Structure 1
Amino acid sequence: MPLKPDLPLPEAESRRIGFAIVGIGKLSAEELIPAARTSEHAAITALVTDDEEKGRAFARAFDLTDADVYTYDRFEELGAREDVDAVYIVLPNSLHREFTERAARMGKHVLCEKPLSVNAAEAQAMVDACQAANVLLMTAYRCQYTPHHWAARGAVQGGKIGPVKLLDSIHAQAEDDPEAWRMKLDLAGGGPLPDVGIYSLNTVRFVLGTEPEWVFATLHQPKDDPLFREVEESVSFMLGFPDGVVANCLTSYGAHKTTTLRVLGEEGAVLMDPAFTYQGLKVTITDQGGEFQPKLPNPDQFGAEFDHFALCIRGGKLPWTPGEEGVQDHRIMDAIYESARTGQVVRLQPVPGRDAFRGEKPEVQGQEG
């Protein structure tokens, strides 16, 4: 039976861009490794872990060998692997810089989970290290690679809802393990803001294509709750964009799972609910013709990341979400924490133009903006 003409043909694994996954936690096991196996241009060729037994078990499950498993102290041995073109760093935030710099010294490109690091200075050091080594650095902002987010961006920037006035976004989830690394300030760099609140921050910037000029924020950290000994429970932050556009965002580790994005224009609105989940994204657009939901595919978000970065490596092009995009979010988050501490509005460095920190556009269905 012949294949459908529009069915993309994946490359042979020997011709794909090879990735070493650094850190085998839940995200790697349940999302990244399976996603790479179904991608068109990427392949997992090595695993790096602190648990060799677990690494060997995953290697066997995904057609790798024991020789493809490395511990963190053997990380530099990847430098001799011609089939490892890049690393995907999936470690606690405070380790991102170390492993990015180690990878850059080996001449390996870096795809790094969000947030890029723990603050703007650390993130900028990662960008500088990769530029000095002439390797690419991409921030893993999966929501900038989905048809649904591009449809929302297209409706906003294409004028379907008229001039934008207000945005609001919520990303909250309940955490219950005080020993989880994301609840440790020295490992995470913060609480829900850099973990889940960053989705609201980054997606608002992506949909508008412009950068905020000021922030105002407040946070809550319960005094007697052992779960929040080190990090905040909730953050509320306001972003002021050019032309008087204002975004209100809420994030929490102590509230019911919620992921929403709403954009209000003079003549319509865009609603994403859910907005940040791995599957089941939904976008509703209301314009002068009424309310509708565009029919869009639901490709694997992590597979889309892999493929975009693989094509950028092959073509020598700056990724759509390079390290600089991650640094900008850290600048804004640093300002959010400063505002929450001082109770004052914090002004940001003006950034003219559109998509100032982004690179080569990915090929995404629903792409208009």
Structure 2
Amino acid sequence: MASDSTLSRRRLIQAGSAAVTGVALGAAAPARAAGPSRPADTGVVEDGRVTFPNWRGGGDITPPPPPAPMPPGERVGFAVVGLGRLSLEELLPAFAQTRKARVVALVSGSPDKARLVAVQYGIAPDAVYGYDEWERIAKNPAIRAVYVVTPNGLHREHVLAAAAAGKHVLCEKPMANSSAEAREMIAACEAAKVKLMIAYRCQYEPFNREVTRLARSGEFGKPRMIQAFNGQTTGLPEQWRLRKDLAGGGALPDIGLYCLNGVRALLGEEPVSVSARLHSTPGDQKFAEVEESVAFTLTFPSGVIAQCATSYGVHESRRLQVHTERGDIDLRNAFAYRGQRLVVSHPDGKVEARDERVLAQKNQFALEIDHMADCILSDRRPHTPGEEGLQDHVVMEAIYEAARTGAVVTVAPPAGAAAGLDATRGPQPEPAG
């Protein structure tokens, strides 16, 4: 015999079934009053975007506003030049998170691969080009900019071709294989009246920008010493990064450049002298043409000393530490594509405090692409223009010279640079929203 509770549950289920059946058969449902509009829940339209009031209480941080992407037809159209790992694994997916840019064309030396990728990303078959089709690219008005992602030794050729085609250029780092090539690229873009930006993604990434803000704010006193390390293991001996004609060098221009550029961007100063040492494991044919490891020291006008190191022969580690008068700013996974962690150690009364700054993770490739698009739309100089890439080549050449001679090498300031910070950079990018 069923219990009273079992019967009650059974009657409830039967009643619910009857109600559902009634709705399915068109039975009239009780009318609900449409209450007044509630901006707290529906939001309001202001200046072309939807905004909501902060619904969080005082115990939580204010959430960011919802994204406000431009209509696809108004975004800056990019052609991605080169379909290697970086393009396929990071850049093309990043366009899905951009707000002011879209990919409209592909340039590749591998027709089968290019056609497949075009289908995957909805790119028209007639917007797929070979490296020798710059005349056709020039005639495509949908392409306003190109993103050069080919090996370093080909950057000069492709940037010059893009400038001649009248297209703005976002070029991967390192900018070229030498300072002479970098100067030629800058001159070509200036003559063609197109913008040239170097893809220093970390200068757009929120955690790296927060380290710069903290270091320059004086909140924990002035920086005194900086340590930067970027290392990983490298296999596959036939890859282009181990060929000097295509890479220009080994660990230094590929991953050590993040240490060099990161320290320069953090301080806003330019190093006045460098010392360095190179090492490659004897007998390892991977490093027959390029170096395996480099350690270098940069001295800055303010007296800050930066100790930097990079290697192709160690377990992956990427770290940036700023030692100030009253604190230690430690960015872990500093130069990685994702996963940054920022810890600040400082005295707090009689105890040592370690505060982790938790920021919203942003796709740094999308941020840099959108910055380039914004500069094209607003006709302004990029934050990381060609002059920023050129200065890194000048300093890297001094590093190689210091390693070769064993002497401290003086570094000349950027040509024509005005006094003050950030001499080789354009206006700051918009905050990552």
Q: How does 1:141-290 map onto structure 2 within 5 Å?
A: 141-289=200-348, 290=353
CA–CA separation in structure 1 for the residues paired with 2:180 and 2:313: 29
CA–CA separation in structure 1 for the residues paired with 2:113 and 2:203: 32
Per the alignment, residue 119 of structure 1 pairs with: 178
CA contact (8 A) 2:182 2:389 kept: yes
Q: How does 1:63-74 map onto structure 2 within 5 Å?
A: 63-74=122-133
Are 1:130 and 2:130 matched, yes or no?
A: no
Q: Structure 2 residue aligned with 1:305, among 361, 368, 372?
A: 368
CA–CA separation in structure 2 for the residues paired with 1:206 and 1:291: 25
Provide the secondary structure at the position in 2 that maps to 1:293. strand
CA radius of gyration, larger in: 2
Per the alignment, residue 332 of structure 1 pairs with: 395
CA contact (8 A) 2:367 2:432 kept: no
Are 1:83 and 2:142 matched, yes or no?
A: yes
CA–CA separation in structure 1 for the residues paired with 2:195 and 2:346: 40
Quote how far apart the aligned CAs of 1:252 are.
Answer: 0.5
What code does the residue aligned with 1:42 have? A
CA contact (8 A) 2:342 2:358 kept: no
Are 1:12 and 2:71 matched, yes or no?
A: yes
Per the alignment, residue 383 of structure 2 pairs with: 320
Provide the secondary structure at the position in 2 that maps to 1:63. coil
Between 1:221-230 and 1:136-145, the stretch displaced more is 221-230
Quote how far apart the aligned CAs of 1:124 are.
Answer: 1.1
Q: Alignment identity in percent?
A: 45
Q: Structure 2 residue aligned with 1:356, among 400, 420, 423?
A: 423
Between 1:131-140 and 1:342-351, the stretch displaced more is 342-351
CA–CA separation in structure 1 for the residues paired with 2:182 and 2:175: 6
State the number of aligned residues. 366
CA–CA separation in structure 1 for the residues paired with 2:256 and 2:404: 17
Between 1:258-267 and 1:68-77, the stretch displaced more is 68-77
Q: Structure 2 residue aligned with 1:60, among 96, 99, 119?
A: 119
Provide the secondary structure at the position in 2 that maps to 1:243. coil
Q: Structure 1 residue aligned with 2:354, among 291, 309, 330?
A: 291
* Gap runs ≥5 in structure 2: 1-40, 44-49, 52-64
Are 1:21 and 2:88 matched, yes or no?
A: no
CA–CA separation in structure 2 for the residues paired with 1:177 and 1:192: 15
Are 1:32 and 2:91 matched, yes or no?
A: yes
Quote how far apart the aligned CAs of 1:295 are.
Answer: 2.3
Task: List structure 1 runs of 4+ shifted beyond 4 angstroms.
Answer: 1-4
CA contact (8 A) 2:134 2:165 kept: no
TM-score, structure 1 as length reference? 0.97
Per the alignment, residue 93 of structure 1 pairs with: 152
Provide the secondary structure at the position in 1 that maps to 2:276. strand
What code does the residue aligned with 2:431 have? V
CA–CA separation in structure 2 for the residues paired with 1:90 and 1:270: 32
CA contact (8 A) 1:233 1:254 kept: yes
What code does the residue aligned with 2:428 have? K
Provide the secondary structure at the position in 1 that maps to 2:224. strand
Provide the secondary structure at the position in 1 that maps to 2:133. helix
CA contact (8 A) 1:161 1:264 kept: no
CA–CA separation in structure 2 for the residues paired with 1:129 and 1:325: 16
Between 1:331-340 and 1:60-69, the stretch displaced more is 60-69
Quote how far apart the aligned CAs of 1:2 are.
Answer: 4.9
Quote how far apart the aligned CAs of 1:55 are.
Answer: 0.5
Provide the secondary structure at the position in 1 that maps to 2:357. coil
What code does the residue aligned with 2:427 have? E
Quote how far apart the aligned CAs of 1:144 are.
Answer: 0.2
Provide the secondary structure at the position in 2 that maps to 1:358. coil
Deviations 1:236-277 (A, max 9, x none): 000001122100011001111010000101111110111011
TM-score, structure 2 as length reference? 0.83
Quote how far apart the aligned CAs of 1:365 are.
Answer: 4.7
CA–CA separation in structure 1 for the residues paired with 2:333 and 2:431: 19
CA–CA separation in structure 2 for the residues paired with 1:154 and 1:293: 15
What code does the residue aligned with 1:105 have? A
* Gap runs ≥5 in structure 1: none
Larger RCO (CA under 8 A, 6+ residues apart): 1
Quote how far apart the aligned CAs of 1:12 are.
Answer: 1.9
Provide the secondary structure at the position in 2 that maps to 1:284. strand
CA–CA separation in structure 1 for the residues paired with 2:192 and 2:405: 39
Quote how far apart the aligned CAs of 1:79 are.
Answer: 0.4
Per the alignment, residue 405 of structure 2 pairs with: 342
